[in-house]
Homo-oligomer: A and B are copies of this chain.
Amino acid sequence: MNQDLPADILIRRVSLLPLPHQSRFIPAGWLSIKDSLIIGLGAGDAPQIPARLCLDGRGCLAMPGLINAHTHAPMSLLRGLADDLTLKTWFEKYIFPAEGKWVNEEFVYRGTLLACAEMIRSGTTTFADGYFFEEQVARATAKAGMRALLAQGVLDFPTPDSPSPDQALKRAESFIRSSAFSSLIHPALFAHSAYTCSPWLLQRCRDLADRYGVPLITHLAESQSELEEVSRKYGRTPVNQMESLGLLSSNLIACHCVWLKDEEMDLLARRGVRVAHNPESNMKLASGVAPVPELLARGVAVGLGTDGCASNNNLDLFQEMDSAAKLHKVHRLDPTVMPSPVVLEMATLGSAKVLGMEKEIGSLEVGKKADIIILNLQSPHLQPVYNIVSQLVYSATGADVRDVIIDGQLVMQNRRLLTLDEETILKSAETWQRRIAGDKSQPLQQ
């Protein structure tokens, strides 16, 4: 376990959950980090090695950072703008007009900083994003020191950053080719959906993603209205539309996947499509309940996502795990489905697989990236502990995270952000709120 290497960070006297299974729980142990990597971990006392920084883990648990498989980070600035509305009203009367009017480079940059602050504070170390002006998402993510798969959005109609789909494709290509990327930030392409992207556009997106070898992200079979619209326009279900256009492949990350027939699930499994499950967004927008146990039974890689803040309304993956575990139980009237280890795996290794990063992140192993969160278990709502996995899924929230390490870098210590200026971020959120809510042409909910 490389016990004699000097370390950059040494975490001592800590409980460890290297993999999302109770059987792998180490009640008292240590973990060491050098550069971006985990170089040692084990039970018992830490080896006597020199380390730049020692963290005392007494009363705490170190576990893999959570991975958000689907979000729209800049939409944090629209949190709570429109709730309890039909999907059509929500989209057409609030979200699309607000985006059309307000989304610009500054909005995207400030909104992503706000989202990164929230994600780090709630134990998320990696996220997959799809939005506009994605280079600004990259800029903010780099500042935060987070790991991400960032996808430039493409739609049929004029968007905040592109007057036409042609322009959007050009912008997406230029985003993928840009040098803004690092070992932490990887590019992707976000073809919004089968109902907002024409067959021509979807095929161009497929070609572009293939040419550059980057993942293609899309919303798939999210709602009944999507099913109706795609069926009316193209005479096929969204899944069959994607299949007929050659998009179903191991390169596709399909978000939501709520309305799937059995043969469509078989097809997704056969094509190696990866799926992001977003239970809270699906609940709040009343989209439906995704057949996640059936997808898992078919061997489909399923990760957990929060979706954007306008439909959740937070980015806390601990709460998302709780909802994922409970929603499927009540939906099937079977309390044994989606047990806590399955859900915790979905938010760690599962999401890592969806993002194509499972060799680097998703568990604590020597040689893997040091993306680690340390939770303070010494709180009344987290005691006593009979089963640490159950505690994480059913009792914890993001507020229990004390320290966050991403790529070997400490980005939060004792709940203080080290890479971001929280005060400035909160002030700019307030400025944007005044701008947007103060605009009387924008209908705000009472």
- The residues of A with any CB-CB pair to B shorter than 8 Å are 22-23, 76-77, 79-81, 83-87, 90, 114-115, 117-118, 121-122, 224, 280, 282-289, 309, 312-316, 319, 322-323, 325-327, 329-330, 332-336, 338-340, 378-381, 383-387, 390-391, 394-395, 397-400, 422, 425-426, 429-430, 432-433, 436-437, 444-446
A430–B377 Cα distance when bound, in Å, is: 12
Q: How many copies does the complex hold?
A: 2
Minimum C-beta distance from A86 to chain B (A): 6
A223–B342 Cα distance when bound, in Å, is: 25
Contacts A87-B335, A323-B326, A335-B286; A430 near B384 (Cβ below 8 A) = yes
Minimum C-beta distance from A442 to chain B (A): 10
A314–B432 Cα distance when bound, in Å, is: 35
Those 10 A-B pairs whose CB atoms lie nearest each other, nearest first: A384-B433, A399-B399, A283-B326, A84-B339, A118-B380, A117-B380, A286-B335, A313-B394, A283-B330, A383-B429
A330, B282: Cβ atoms under 8 Å?
yes
Find the B residue at minimum CB distance from A394.
B313
Find the B residue at minimum CB distance from A445.
B387
Contacts A80-B394, A87-B335, A335-B87; A284 near B381 (Cβ below 8 A) = no
Contacts A340-B84, A380-B426, A422-B380; A446 near B23 (Cβ below 8 A) = yes
Q: Which of B122, B286, B380 contacts A121 (CB 8 A)?
A: B380
B285, A335: Cβ atoms under 8 Å?
yes
When distances are taken between beta carbons in the complex, the residues of chain B under 8 Å from A22 are 446
Contacts A90-B335, A122-B381, A283-B326; A387 near B80 (Cβ below 8 A) = yes
Find the B residue at minimum CB distance from A396.
B314
When distances are taken between beta carbons in the complex, the residues of chain B under 8 Å from A385 are 80, 433
A369–B49 Cα distance when bound, in Å, is: 58
Minimum C-beta distance from A173 to chain B (A): 33
A335, B86: Cβ atoms under 8 Å?
yes
A287–B330 Cα distance when bound, in Å, is: 7
When distances are taken between beta carbons in the complex, the residues of chain B under 8 Å from A84 are 325, 335-336, 338-340, 390
A81–B395 Cα distance when bound, in Å, is: 12
Find the B residue at minimum CB distance from A82.
B386
B118, A335: Cβ atoms under 8 Å?
no
Find the B residue at minimum CB distance from A83.
B390
A385–B319 Cα distance when bound, in Å, is: 20
A284, B394: Cβ atoms under 8 Å?
yes
Find the B residue at minimum CB distance from A437.
B386
Show 17 residue pairs from A and B whose CB-CB distance is below 8 angstroms, ordered by the A residue: A23-B446, A76-B380, A80-B386, A81-B387, A86-B336, A87-B335, A90-B335, A117-B380, A118-B381, A121-B380, A284-B329, A284-B394, A313-B391, A327-B327, A380-B422, A380-B426, A390-B445
A80, B395: Cβ atoms under 8 Å?
yes
Additional A-B contact list (14), CB under 8 Å, known A84-B390, A327-B330, A399-B399: A79-B395, A80-B387, A80-B390, A83-B387, A83-B394, A85-B336, A118-B380, A285-B335, A313-B394, A378-B426, A384-B432, A385-B433, A386-B436, A386-B445
Q: Which of B81, B114, B325, B397 contacts A316 (CB 8 A)?
A: B397
When distances are taken between beta carbons in the complex, the residues of chain B under 8 Å from A122 are 381
A319, B397: Cβ atoms under 8 Å?
yes
A333–B398 Cα distance when bound, in Å, is: 28
A340–B445 Cα distance when bound, in Å, is: 12
B286, A333: Cβ atoms under 8 Å?
yes
A282–B332 Cα distance when bound, in Å, is: 12
A433, B379: Cβ atoms under 8 Å?
no
When distances are taken between beta carbons in the complex, the residues of chain B under 8 Å from A87 are 335
A440–B186 Cα distance when bound, in Å, is: 50
